Amino acid sequence: MEVDTLFASINQINVSDHTAKCGVCLKTPPNIASDGLWGNHGTEGSPLKSSMPIFLLQVILIYTVTRTLNYPLKKLGFPAIFSQLMAGLILGPSLGILEKEKTMLFPYGSQDTLATIASLGYMLFVFENGVKMDFSMITRTGKQGWIIAIVGLLFPLVIGYSSVETISKLANQGSLDELHSTVVILMTQNMTSFAVIASVLNDLQILNSELGRLALSSALVGDTLSNILVVASAALDTRKVNARGINLVLLFAVIIIIFFVYRPSMFLVIEHTPEGQEVKDIYINVIIGVLFVLGWSSMLFNIEFILLPFLYGLATPDGPPLGSSLVKRIHTFGLEFLTPIFITTCAMKMNYSLVEFRSPMFIGTVLMILMAHLLKIISYAAPSLYFKLSLKDAVSLALLLDCKGVVEVAMYSSALDKRDIQPVRYTVALTMILISNSVSQLLVKRLYDPSRKYFGYQKRNMSNLKFDANLRILVCIHKQHHTVPIISALNLFNPTPLYPTTVDVLHLIELVGRSSPIFISHKMKKGSPCHASNSYSENVILTFKLYEDEKLGATTIYPYTAISPPTLMHEDVCYLALDKVASIIILPFHRRWSFDGKIEHEDKTVRLLNCKVMDKAPCSVGILVTRFVRKSDSPLRLAMIFFGGDDDREALCLANRAAKDSDNVELVVYHMTTSEKKDEKHDEDTMLDHSILKNARRECSRMRNVVHEEIIVEGGAQVASVLHRLAEDHDFFIVGRRNGIDSPQTKSLQEWSEFPELGVIGDFLASPDLECNSSVLVVQQQKFHH
């Protein structure tokens, strides 16, 4: 039989139902590099007969196909694994197209090299996810997560194993080995992989939502119990019991060394690493070197080669400085480059030409996998409904926890290589992963919207707050330099023992080197032995504690820390505002100015957060633009620019509250109006504007530190001229965002607006072209979603 191969020759000497044994003739030394494009192609040194060029060509082809497919499919909402499996189908023998070209590009003998290198990518993937996994989270998982995970694991197992013989008979399986393949499929389908679930949640952008946190905790418990069952079943395999004894003893010895020698030593390394710096390269190099040794040791012990690397990653302290440094080094090469190649090579083993769609084996395998999916969904949804989750949320949680991914693909590939399952069943199993994973994620997108809980109709703003009510404020801190300007802004709310404020301080930290987001309430942790829970935000907490002591009886501070991905931080902000019934959220602007008035730094992730919070917040929002922090003892020269609308009315309420501190604040309210006479009939919005301005004038007559001034402006040029003049006379401005209001007075300025989240007036006052030291607070009143 003539076959394209890297070997000198190949002869098929035995063919059975599913396997073929071949005799090969090797030429030594083997051809690693080729003779070049214009070399002697009649020899084995041609580019397509040498291992290095053919390997690079295969990598280029797989990488190109997966990326090309991923771009449009991602736009349609399909997960990345869908494009990787589809690439395997295209490049493999399944579709029966371009067979000659594919045989030339993937000759016999080249697959071993490709599969070996790609398997290293899977090992790095497993190790990275072990590093990012916070195993201590399992001790913090509540009763809800434990019960959902246990029921979701045991119920399908009991039903599945009790019906193994029936399924095998349906699939026309008789021998012990063929019965074993049914058990392998049931065991794999019943797996819950924390790494897969965390990846799915991150792709769906719900990692730190309520449902996402519940799914993560349940997945961690389920993954732990699943791995225990897999290891136990492998250890008790009666077919290999004689060979297992010494290997198990050695395995447990290595595990003890990993957790009781390696892990404590890594904590010593962290202790000797200066704060804010990365771990030294020598430690990273040693850790990665030991990782490959453990992968090799796993195969010596006759177990899955990724078991010890996973436990090694699990024993490595997550987060900065060690976990984040490791993830940074291996993520791009391992997860982004090699893992997609690994999944594609696994999918290339699929072969639809072997599948007889009316055969008992095909029908039985499909029914078995569908039954496993159905049992998993029911077993996760039932306890979720018991814990009072809505039907949509319960089904969404069940679909999420039932998702399969790279871990299950790898398990099926390993089972095929060991001949634990037949090629037909392997093809069906991977096809079902391709379909079910995509359908589940698309359904979850339709069923679950984490922001819908913020779309309430309860009024949470300053305009509707009762005069004597306790004002609840949520402030967000990203860096230490945000604390002083935020505290200065808090003074505008004029807290007194008679009219106190409660401030929730949320320190936002980017999630690095971890899979699970973390939320810490430092007030609750007070006096608790929790490991350095305050270390994340120690300086921030101390600064606000001093402010609380200064405002004794007038302000109460509740500090929190949220460690989450930058794209999902708005969930933490909005959830805390909702939970604490905040009336307003104060966010720092993404630009930082130097003392000479120049832009020193811009943080695009902060801007993204501000825009998302403004869009979804359950209360009013303010963005604080700080140019210069005042250190003068003279009264604050405060200005409020009023055009009209909900946002301006909210801003005026805040300005009026600040003006009650008559000793420290001098307020001027500038009412920008036109000379045109308005119709007698006014809409509700205009009537509210007149009412609040009337009340402001009445207050103005009683307070010596408040001035109300009306300025007639006809267009954008006049508005700009007035703002230029006012900027020189005031230290601080409070303005409304006025988003979506089409005003003839500001229409021409909109064309020059750089940051829509600040509104036209706020953007003008925050522009670097306006040479002044005035700070600005842009206010948006609570939005009501219908």
Query: Cα 192 to chain center, whole Å?
Result: 19
State the pairing for strand pair 555-564/620-625.
unpaired
Calculate the CA dihedral of residues 403, 409, 411, 417 and round it to 10 degrees.
Answer: 160
- Torsional sign, CA 255, 261, 263, 264: positive
> How many angstroms separate the CA atoms of 391 and 381, rounded?
8
Q: What is the CA radius of gyration of the chain?
A: 32
Sorted by sequence, the CB contacts under 8 Å of residue 377 that are 6+ apart come out as 395, 398, 399, 402
Sorted by sequence, the CB contacts under 8 Å of residue 147 that are 6+ apart come out as 383, 387
Note the pLDDT of residue 175: 52
Sorted by sequence, the CB contacts under 8 Å of residue 309 that are 6+ apart come out as 123, 126, 127, 130, 291, 294, 295, 298
Long-range contacts of 158-164 (CB under 8 A, 24+ apart): 159/375, 160/186, 160/189, 160/190, 160/371, 160/372, 160/375, 161/186, 163/371
Q: How many CB atoms lie within 10 A of CB 201?
A: 26
**Residues 625 and 765: beta-carbon distance below 8 Å:** yes
**Residues 588 and 485: beta-carbon distance below 8 Å:** yes
> How many angstroms separate the CA atoms of 502 and 44, rounded?
78
**Residues 503 and 477: beta-carbon distance below 8 Å:** no
Note the pLDDT of residue 176: 52
Calculate the CA dihedral of residues 486, 489, 494, 500 and round it to 10 degrees.
Answer: -30
Beta strands in 292-374 (DSSP E): none
Q: Name the residue among 483, 368, 456 with its Cα closest to residue 785.
A: 456
Sorted by sequence, the CB contacts under 8 Å of residue 690 that are 6+ apart come out as 682
> Which residues partner with 102 through β-bridges?
none
> How many angstroms separate the CA atoms of 354 and 19, rounded?
12
Instruction: Tell me the pTM.
Output: 0.80
> How many angstroms separate the CA atoms of 649 and 686, rounded?
11
φ, ψ for residue 108 (rounded to 5)? -60, 130
Calculate the CA dihedral of residues 668, 672, 676, 681 and round it to 10 degrees.
Answer: -90
- In which residue are the tokens 């990012």 written? 132
* β-sheet with 518-521: strand ranges across: 518-521, 555-564, 501-510, 471-477, 584-588, 620-625, 775-780, 732-736, 636-642, 665-673, 706-712
Note the pLDDT of residue 16: 46
Instruction: Find the helix or strand (DSSP H, E) in which 268 lies.
Output: helix 263-271
Q: How far is the first Cα of the chain from the last one, in angstroms, to the nearest whole number?
A: 70
> How many angstroms separate the CA atoms of 407 and 217, rounded?
18
**How many CA atoms are closer than 13 Å to the CA of 40, on its beta-carbon side?**
4
For 752-767, letters b (16+ CB in 10 Å) and e give: ebebebbbbbbbbbbb
Tell me how long the chain is.
Answer: 786
Q: How many CB atoms lie within 10 A of CB 481?
A: 14
Sorted by sequence, the CB contacts under 8 Å of residue 336 that are 6+ apart come out as none
> How many angstroms separate the CA atoms of 294 and 317, rounded?
18
Architecture field, domain 462-523+537-676+683-780: 3-Layer(aba) Sandwich (3.40)
Q: How far lies 82's CA from each of 124, 137, 205, 446, 779, in Å? A: 21, 30, 18, 19, 44
**How many CA atoms are closer than 13 Å to the CA of 571, on its beta-carbon side?**
23
Note the pLDDT of residue 18: 44
The CATH number of the structural domain formed by 109-234+321-447 is: 1.20.1530.20
Instruction: Read off the amino acid at residue 288.
Output: I
> Which residues partner with 504 through β-bridges?
474, 558
Note the pLDDT of residue 508: 92
**Residues 736 and 779: beta-carbon distance below 8 Å:** yes
Instruction: Read off the amino acid at residue 459.
Output: K
Note the pLDDT of residue 786: 47
State the pairing for strand pair 471-477/518-521.
unpaired
Note the pLDDT of residue 15: 46
φ, ψ for residue 77 (rounded to 5)? 95, 10
Query: Cα 553 to chain center, whole Å?
Result: 40
Note the pLDDT of residue 141: 74
Note the pLDDT of residue 611: 92
Low-confidence ranges of the chain (pLDDT < 70): 1-50, 96, 98, 101-102, 108-110, 164-178, 230-247, 454-457, 467-468, 524-536, 596-597, 629-632, 676-683, 685, 699-701, 784-786
Report DSSP letters for 428-468, one per residue.
HHHHHHHHHHHHHHHHHHHH--GGGGG---S--SSTTS-TT
For 505-530, letters b (16+ CB in 10 Å) and e give: bbbbbebbbbbbbbebebeeeeeeee
- Collapsing DSSP states into helix, strand and coil, what is residue 642? strand
- In which residue are the tokens 């990365």 written? 278
User: Which region holds residue 388: left if phi is over 0, alpha if psi is between -120 and 50, else beta?
Assistant: left
Calculate the CA dihedral of residues 721, 723, 724, 725 and round it to 10 degrees.
Answer: 90
**How many CA atoms are closer than 13 Å to the CA of 502, on its beta-carbon side?**
10
Calculate the CA dihedral of residues 93, 94, 99, 102 and round it to 10 degrees.
Answer: -50
> How many angstroms separate the CA atoms of 7 and 11, rounded?
11
Kindly list the domain boundaries of the chain, sorted by start residue.
Answer: 109-234+321-447, 462-523+537-676+683-780
